[in-house]
Structure 1
Amino acid sequence: MAVKKAALACTVCGSRNYTITVKPERNARLEVKKFCRHCGKYTLHKETR
């Protein structure tokens, strides 16, 4: 079985900066404050599938 991956997208500029592995037991989308190199600051990133 292949590993499923998702991207974390910046809520300010929309760029997809990070990738994560999707765990099957988690059904809510991940929201984390991470550094966006395009914005140059820490912003909220949301999981996209």
Structure 2
Amino acid sequence: MAKGKDIRITIILECTTCVRKSVNKASKGISRYMTQKNRRNMPNRLELRKFCRYCGKHTIHGEITK
């Protein structure tokens, strides 16, 4: 009865501010979150405002591929 494609997929959200800083080696690390999204409802890349422990503030976290 199950369909071939999984509708809910696991994604990784990465801080966009830390990624820019890591080029200059000013950051200690990159903040990442794991979450799930519904492929039918959100076909585009997901961007959420989450807390980054390396920046110390809420920043935009964007979806990256595995």
Q: Same fold (TM over 0.5)?
A: yes
What TM-score does the superposition give when structure 2 sets the normalisation length? Answer: 0.60
Structure 1 portions without partners, runs of 5+: none
Q: Deviations over 1:15-41 (max 9, x none)?
A: 242001242212111111110001100
Describe how 1:1-49 pairs up with structure 2 within 5 A.
Answer: 4-14=9-19, 15-25=30-40, 26-49=42-65
Greater share of helix residues, 1 or 2? 2
Question: Where has structure 1 moved over 4 Å in runs of 4 or more?
Answer: none
Root mean square deviation, CA, Å: 1.9
How many pairs align? Answer: 49
Structure 2 portions without partners, runs of 5+: 20-29
Asked which structure has the greater CA Rg, the reply is 2
Identity rate, percent: 37
Greater share of strand residues, 1 or 2? 1
